Structure 1
Amino acid sequence: MTWIEPKYSKKAVSRAGDNLINLNSSEKECLEALDIVSNWRSSYTFPLNNITSLLRFKVKTVEKNAIITQRLKRIPSILRKLKRYHEMRLHRMQDIGGCRVVLSDIKKVNTLKHLLLNSRTKNELAKENDYIENPKDSGYRGIHLIYKYKGKKDEIYNGHTIEIQVRTKIQHSWATAVEVAGTFLKQPLKSGEGSENWLHFFKLVSLLFAFLENCLPKNITNQRLKEIKHEVNLLATELEVFKKLQAFSVSTNLINDAVSRDYSGYFLILLNIDEQNVQIWSYKEKYLSKATEDYINFEKKYKDTKEVDIVLVNAKSIKTLKKAYPNYFADSKEFLDKLNEVLAKEI
């Protein structure tokens, strides 16, 4: 397989990122900047593949059927982050390449975290964020480990950082539901922006889910938990949560009809929000360059269209793809099932 190498200096990469968020940039400047940013992002594929391989090796001893995927950050997500954090330079962004594992429970998440932190790897652990012990203000929970790639033969990629996300199924269902609601309500809920009621609802539900997983913050008393449950019930009714999340369904069109259920490789996903339709193209591992080229062309085509989401991911099968990225299929079933469960539970 031919890996894509970075063709531009870090200074040029960061300048390109600035041009893309600068409202005064010309169309020509934006297109040139998009080519530079796309090449920089694509150059993360090799270190991402390397670190995902380490993750797969460690996961084997923890949970055989864990969900593992990898993806390159979408251009719109990169630009939103640059706009949100004014001091950030694109070449220093730490989650352009990311891999994720979803495990069945908290115990397995902690076991895998310990294995990763104590593994013998030439890659350097640059940052550790335990959002289970210290959840984000939004209610997001999970483990994030940032690794800086280091290789002797492939020094051109040295310094590229890759983010590993480790979540439980319940945490994953919560994060997915936030994305589904945000996508179809056309509000950036994932970034903590948008309807205060929806944001507050998800923050409270995160606490109820933490109760289900026995990792509730110590300052939450039984009485407070009952109040939270009551408030969630009221908000679920007011916002029509069940009705709306069930209505956010999509029809799926798999472009490659010959793809088998166990097909492994790269998947290009295009979600049309207004039409509630998702299209999927599949590529064998050896056709990564073609997958990347198509990804970039679609991003250019839809760069001014907020109704279309595009992402290129690597997964072991279509089944794994749908479990790892249910937000692209508007699938909130696991979230709603867990919400029903905790609302019916005695506290």
Structure 2
Amino acid sequence: MENSFNLKNLKAIKIELTRFMMAYKFALDEMTTKINILKDEFNYIHDYNPIEHVNSRLKSPESIFKKVQRKGIDFSLESIKENIKDIAGMRITCSFISDIYELSRMIAKQKDVRIIEYKDYIKNPKPNGYQSLHMIVEIPIFMSDREELTLVEVQIRTIAMDFWASLEHKIYYKYNKEIPQKMLDELKATADMAGSLDRKMESLHREMAKMKQADEADEMLLTLGIGSNKLNLLETFIEEKLGIK
């Protein structure tokens, strides 16, 4: 009888753990769909797509358990959900710095998305030079018998920021000793170089956008018959409407 009771308990725990992890997977799927819709809209309707790459990951149970130990929190689903906010994570790489803020506004404006945390490591880089925009968003996940409000961490970076962060991680990976100050200084210098590159490319991007707008305005004037054609549009419009020939 006791074994049967324990078996039922284990089965119930397994179901709850499965539901717990599935909620984060579904939340990640939901956010991926939202970003893909924006990508498709930019590709088919607009002449410019700011989204370069999208990557997502779900923490493994082992990784969650290690973080629980490091943070010293209670090993319960409620405590994990409250204290570990990056179980589901998404990284979006954009072309320019301005794209990061525009995309973050688009995400924040969606009715079923609530911003829980917003950390701007672009305007305020970390001491090691790391730059990125971090958001913790909450979205509803509808299951057969419940609605789960689930968190997803969204990181938005430029290509240069992502390049630096990826290589910095590889340099430090599995190195458990103190990093020499000379290496820290050099990594910070490379982060500053990446930031300078981003700002320069942003400036070029804006300058080119102004040139395109000027060209489009000139083309519109020629199409409407202004400039070299010397036509008075207002008079022509009135004559057409009144039937004056």
Q: Is TM-score (shorter-chain normalized) higher than 0.5?
A: yes
Unaligned runs of 5+ in 2: 1-9, 43-47, 201-245
The correspondence for 1:50, drawn from 30, 38, 60, is 30
User: How far apart, in 2, do the equivalents of 1:135 and 1:155 lie?
Assistant: 43
Local SS of the residue matching 1:133:
coil
Greater C-alpha Rg: 2
Residues 81 and 139 from structure 1, CA distance in 2 versus in 1: closer, same or farther, beyond 3 angstroms?
Answer: farther
Matched AA of 1:124? R
Q: Residues 163, 154 of structure 1: CA spacing in aligned structure 2 closer, same or farther, 3 A cutoff?
A: farther
**Quick one: structure 1 residues 168 and 147, their matched pair in 2 at CA, closer, same or farther if it must change by over 3 Å?**
same
TM score, norm. by length of structure 2: 0.61
- Identity score, percent: 21
Cα deviation, residue 64, structure 1: 6.2
Which residue of the other structure, out of 178, 187, 190, is the alignment partner of 1:205?
190
5 Å matches for 1:298-317? none
| Unpaired stretches in structure 1, ≥5 consecutive residues | 1-6, 13-31, 216-347
- State how far apart, in whole Å, the 2-side matches of 1:50 and 1:105 are: 25
- Of 59, 62, 86, the residue aligned with 1:73 is 59
CA distance in 2, matches of 1:103, 1:148: 22
Check whether the contact 2:28–2:152 (CA below 8 A) recurs between aligned residues: yes
Question: What secondary structure is seen at the aligned counterpart in 1 of 2:26?
Answer: helix
Q: Which residue of 2 aligns with 1:133?
A: 123
Amino acid at match of 2:59: K
Equivalent position SS for 1:149: strand
Contact 2:141 2:149 (8 Å CA) reproduced: no
Measure the CA separation in 2 of the matches of 1:105 and 1:85: 35
Q: Supply the RMSD in Å over aligned alpha carbons.
A: 3.3
Match of 1:187 among 175, 186, 190: 175
- Relative to structure 1, the CA distance from residue 120 to residue 74 in structure 2 (aligned partners, 3 Å threshold; closer, same or farther) is same
Aligned residues: 179
Secondary structure of the residue that 2:149 maps to in structure 1?
Answer: coil
The verdict on how the C-alpha distance between 1:36 and 1:203 changes in structure 2, with shifts beyond 3 A counting, is farther
Deviation at 1:173, TM superposition (A): 0.4
Aligned to 2:199: 214
Matched to 1:212, the amino acid is L
User: Does the 8 Å contact 1:150/1:157 carry over to 2?
Assistant: yes
Q: Which has the larger helix fraction?
A: 2
8 A contact 1:42–1:72 mirrored in 2:
no
Q: What SS does the aligned partner of 2:140 have?
A: coil
Tell me whether 1:162 sits opposite 2:152 in the alignment: yes
C-alpha deviation, 1:63, in angstroms: 1.8
How far does the alpha carbon of each residue in 1:109-136 deviate from its partner, in whole angstroms, 9 at most, with x for none?
A: 122122222x232132211111111122
Seen in structure 2, the aligned counterparts of structure 1 residues 8 and 101 have a Cα distance that, compared at 3 Å, is farther
* TM-score of the aligned structures, taking structure 1 as reference length: 0.44
- Give the direction of change, closer, same or farther, for the CA distance of 1:121–1:59 in structure 2 (3 Å limit): farther
- Inter-CA distance 59–131: structure 2 relative to 1 (3 Å threshold): farther
SS of residue paired to 1:150: strand
Q: How far apart in 1 are the matches of 2:16 and 2:169?
A: 28
Distance change in 2, residues 1:170/1:43 (3 Å): same
